Amino acid sequence: MTIMAPSQPPVPGQVGQAIAESCTESDACPTFARLNARLANLEMQVSTDYLTGLWNRAHFNQVVDSELDRSLRYKQPVSLILFDIDHFKRANDQFGHQAGDAVLRELALVANAATRSSDAVFRWGGEEFAVLATSTGYRGAGRLAEALRGQVACHVFPDVGTVTVSLGVAEHSASESAEAWFRRADGMLYAAKREGRNCVRVDANGNSDTWAAAQGPAALCLSWQEAYECGEPSIDREHLELFNLANALIDVSVMSNSDSGKVLSVFDKLLDHIACHFVNEEALLELRGYAHADAHRRAHANLLRRARALRDGLEAGSASLGGIVEFLAGEVVARHLFKADRDFFPLFRAGAGNAETVPVA
């Protein structure tokens, strides 16, 4: 088959289209499959940094506008963390550029391990890196940056030993351009450098505060959706009740005439429900032979410990409504129910088994 006249230069995509049309089942055509694989490999090569394997600056430029559009459309904050290695030139001069390259590769591994699966880590250039933290305001991004700083500081790098990083954080604000947003994060990075290095500096401005002020306290609630159901009635009832009790706590917390005793009483009721729910859920997972039951139990214990510490902080006056809402929405719901719990949902789908259900206490 002649795909095109020999005198014509190849037109991008035309060869692949012609090959695909020559296959009755293009997905099964070996030539087409090889072409797709090669194209995917080339796209990966131009999007990643050859030394560290992280996304590169060109890929950041490709995705940032869509991330900002999504943030504004759905009113979900997005933050940028910029960081670089302190005194990296000294390490290169003392240990050589090969050792310096090894530090960069190792730092990429540490950064990926210290950030969340929803975050994207980029090598910006030289010894400078960036983290795009979606659905995260400047407060959460500041904590993420501090965790990353600590992980780097205690890590032992081959040949070099220990290194530190300085980090700057900025949440996207209003409808500023990507360039203006980057300049604010970069300004925070330079502030961290000026103030002694091995630290985090945060620009305490962003859309999350603006949206919260515009919506008011009535907007603070967790909304249950049918898609959150796992298929096991007792777990689904307890998850729904968890949402109801969390919203009751938020409501009583924002009432101007409520006293701390009433807030603590509602918080205690929520804690009792969480503890009971965790026990029931763990029993069901054991009964179904869930492979990650032990890890899930540890995650439950950690969440309950943090919830009780938050309750004690509220009683002592050191915890705020914002901290309560962030814990309930971000940790209990978004990260645990939406991620960890979803791993066991297939156990309770139709046909997953007929094990006897543990009664709800």
Write down the catalytic residue from 106, 127, 238, 282.
127
Of residues 361, 354, 337, the one with CA closest to residue 279: 361
* Structure-token match 């960081």, residue found: 83
**Pick from 185, 153, 158: which is nearest to 170 by CA?**
185
Annotation says 127 is catalytic: yes
The rounded radius of gyration (Å) of the Cα atoms in the chain is 25
Cα separation, 282 vs 292, whole angstroms: 10
* Sign for the pseudo-dihedral over CA of 19, 23, 26, 29: negative
Token match 């009740």: residue?
241
Find where tokens 């869930």 sit: 290
Query: Do 194 and 88 touch, CB atoms closer than 8 A?
Result: no
C-alpha span between 53 and 154 (Å, rounded): 23
Closest by CA to 29, choosing from 14, 41, 18, is 18
3-state secondary structure of 1: coil
Partners of 169 in the beta sheet?
Answer: 81, 202
- Of 134, 133, 161, 162, which Cα lies nearest the Cα of 150? 162
Q: What is the set of active-site residues?
A: 127
